[in-house]
Amino acid sequence: MYISKKTIKTNIIILGCILFCGCLHLIGYYVDQIPFSENNVIFMVYSFGMLLWIMQIQRRIIHQKAKLYLLLTAIFMILWMLLRTIKYIYVPSDHIVHRYIWYAYHPLMMSMILFDLFAVLHTGKQEQQAIDAKWYGLYVPTIGFILMFFSNDFHQLAFRFHDPIGWTSTKMSYGIIYYLAQGYILSLFLLTMFIVFLRCLVKGRRKFIWIPMIPISVGILYAVSYVTKSNVLKYLLIAYKPAEMSCIVIGLFTEALILTRLLPSNDNYEQFWKLSSMKAGILDQDGNLYIQSPGVSNIDKKYIYKAQIEMVYLTKDIVLKSKRMFQGYLFWQKNVAQFHFLNHKLKQLKDSILEENEVIAAENQMKEQHAHIKNQRELYDSICNKVKPQVHKISMLLNSIPKEEEAFCNSMKLACIHNVYIKRYTNLMLLYEKDKYHYFEELKLAFIESLDYLTMVNIETYLQWDVNKQQKTTYGLCLYELFQQMVEEALDTLTAILLHVKAEDDYILFELQIANPRAYFSQEDLQKRLGDFVTVKTSYQEDIYYLTMELPMQGGNV
C-alpha cells in the first residue's frame, strides 16, 4: 500500500486538526473560562481540515461522478459543523431552531453515507456509464427518515420528550425511528464495504478491507456509549461531540477506502512508474525528461517527436511510439519480437495453405475431368444404343452389297437415309445434353436433310416450317425419332410425305402426312409415348396416314 508524500503530509495536518479540536474540548470541559469562543475556533479548524481534504479528493479521484459524490460528502461535513456552531453559540437551547438543527444531524449523516455508497458504485465504470437506476431507490428510505426526524414534534417516534414545557435533548429518550435510523446508517456502511470488496479491481487489495472497518467500529462504540451514557469512553465523549465524531468517522472511512485503493485513485504516480512493467516515459513541453519507468534506455527526443507520426524502430524488435499530451509528450517502447515470430509463422502457414489449396484444386480438377469423361462416356453409350438399329441396318447393307449397279445404288441410298439420321440424331442428342431443349431451327435442319435423302429413293417430300428461329422445345429428339421410325416402317411402300410445323399462340402444331404407309403408329401408342402434355390425333383415309400433334411451348416431360 503505497502513499505519496503529499498525501501523507496533508493527512498529518488533518489529523492534527482533529486532535487539536479534541484537546480544546477537554480543556474547555475542565477549565471554567477560556478567553475565546471554543466552538468558533473548533468550527474554523474543522473547516480548514475539510477544505484540505476536498483538495485531496480533487487531486486523487479520477472518476468525475465519484469525485462529485465525495465532494458533496465533504461539503455536507462543513455544513454540519456550521449548523452545530450556530446551535451552540447563536441559538438558545430552548428555541425551536435549536431543536430542528439537532433534528438535522441524522439526515446529514444518512446523506453523507449514501453519497459514499454512490461514489463506490461508480468503481469500474467509464465516465459516460451511469449506475443502475435501482440504486437511486435508496433515496426513498433516506427521505422517509428525514421527514420522520423533522416531523418529530408531531409524533415523537424518534425522540420522546419528558418535559412538557421545554423540549430539549437533556430530557428525552430515543424512539423506534431513532433506532431504525441507526440500523439504516450501519447497513449503508456495510453495503458500501460489501460493494467495495466485490468491485475491487485489484484482488490483492481486498486483504486491506479491515482498515476501513476500524473507523466504523470506533463509531459504533461511540454511539453505544453515547446512548447508554457509559463512562467507558468518557474522555472520547468529552473530546468529540456527536456531530464531530460522525464527520470524523465518515471522513476516516472514506479516506481509508482511498488509501487502500479499494476506491480507485491516482495517488502516487511515481511509485506506479517504478512498479510498471510498461517501458514508458514523459517529457515536458520543453523536451526535458520528467519521469520514466525502469528499463527505458536514453532516447534522443527527435525520435520521440518523430514517433508521433510513425513507429520508430530502435532495434529490430523494439519500436517507439509517442503522443502529444497537455504540456508534454508521452512515449513508450514496445517489444514486437513476438509479433514478428507470429508473422513468420503465419507466412509459413500461408505458404502451406497455398500448397494444400493447389493440391486440392488439382484434385478437384481431376475429379471434374473424371466426371466429365464419365458423363461423356455415358452419353456416347446412350447415343450408340439409340442409333444401334440404324447402325445395324447400314452394316447389313454393306455386308451384302449387290453386284448389279442399280441394286448397288439403291442399297447405298438406303444406307445414306440411315446414316443421315444417325448424324442428325447424334447432333440433336449432344445439344439436348447441354441445354435440355432444342431450338426449332436445329430441328428444321435435321428434317430437311432427312427429307432430301428420301427424294433419292423416289419419295416425294414437302416441308412447311412456320416457327420462329428462337422458339425451342424439349420434344426435339422424340419428334425426330418418331419421324424416322415411321419412315423406316413404311419405306418399302412409301410414295410421298408431307410435314408442316407451325407456331400457334400457346402450342406448336406438328402435322405429318404419309402416303401408302405399310405400317403406322396408333393414336393410343403415340399418346402413351408422348404423355399428357401433348395432344395427339391420327387418322387413315384413302391410303394416307394423318398425324396431328399439339406440343406445349418450350416443354413438357417426354
- Write the pLDDT tens digit of every residue in 35-91: 777 888 999 999 999 999 999 888 888 888 888 999 999 999 999 999 989 988 888
pLDDT grade for 195, boundaries at 50, 70 and 90:
confident
Asked if residue 291 has pLDDT above 80, the reply is: no
Share above pLDDT 70 across residues of the chain, in percent, rounded to a whole number: 93
Average pLDDT, the chain: 84
Higher per-residue confidence, 553 vs 89: 89
Classify strands 280-284 and 289-292 as parallel, antiparallel or unpaired: antiparallel
437-552 is a CATH 3.30.565.10 domain: yes
3-class state of residue 315 by DSSP: coil
- DSSP 8-state secondary structure symbol assigned to residue 265: -
- DSSP 8-state secondary structure symbol assigned to residue 87: I
Q: Which long-range contacts (CB under 8 A, 24 or more apart) does 3-12 make?
A: 3/259, 3/267, 3/268, 4/267, 4/268, 4/269, 4/270, 4/271, 6/59, 7/56, 7/60, 7/259, 7/267, 7/268, 10/52, 10/53, 10/55, 10/56, 11/56, 11/255
Q: In this structure, are residues 157 and 172 in contact, taking their beta carbons and an 8 Å threshold?
A: no
268: nearest Cα among 78, 7, 57: 7
C-alpha cell at 403: 453386284
Place of cell 475429379: 367
Higher per-residue confidence, 233 vs 498: 498
- Write the pLDDT tens digit of every residue in 250-263: 899 888 888 887 87
Least confident of 57-71, 270-284, 359-373: 270-284
Annotate 26-62 with b (16+ C-beta within 10 A) or e (fewer): eebeeeeeeeeebbebbbebbbebbeebbebbeebbe
Give the DSSP letter string of 440-503: HHHHHHHHHHHHHHHGGGT-EEEEEEE--TT-EES-HHHHHHHHHHHHHHTTTT--EEEEEEEE
pLDDT grade for 134, boundaries at 50, 70 and 90:
very high
Asked if residue 202 has pLDDT above 70, the reply is: no
Q: In this structure, are residues 484 and 425 in contact, taking their beta carbons and an 8 Å threshold?
A: yes
Higher per-residue confidence, 517 vs 473: 517
pLDDT grade for 381, boundaries at 50, 70 and 90:
confident
C-alpha cell at 449: 436433310
Q: In this structure, are residues 383 and 426 in contact, taking their beta carbons and an 8 Å threshold?
A: yes
**229-239: average pLDDT:** 84
Read off φ and ψ for residue 469, nearest 5 degrees: -60, -30
272-335 is a CATH 3.30.450.30 domain: yes
Return the H-helix or E-strand segment holding 44. helix 38-60
At residue 94, the pLDDT reads: 78
Alpha-carbon distance of 534 to 509, in angstroms, equals 10
pLDDT grade for 1, boundaries at 50, 70 and 90:
low
Alpha-carbon distance of 528 to 351, in angstroms, equals 62
Return the H-helix or E-strand segment holding 510. strand 507-515
Distance of CA 295 to the CA centre of its chain: 39
Domains 272-335 and 437-552 are alike in CATH topology: no
Alpha-carbon distance of 182 to 188, in angstroms, equals 10
Alpha-carbon distance of 513 to 467, in angstroms, equals 19
At residue 557, the pLDDT reads: 40
C-alpha cell at 191: 453495503
Q: Which residue ranges make up each domain of the chain? A: 5-267, 272-335, 437-552
At residue 51, the pLDDT reads: 93
Higher per-residue confidence, 80 vs 288: 80
Higher per-residue confidence, 475 vs 449: 449
As a whole number of Å, the end-to-end CA separation of the chain is 91
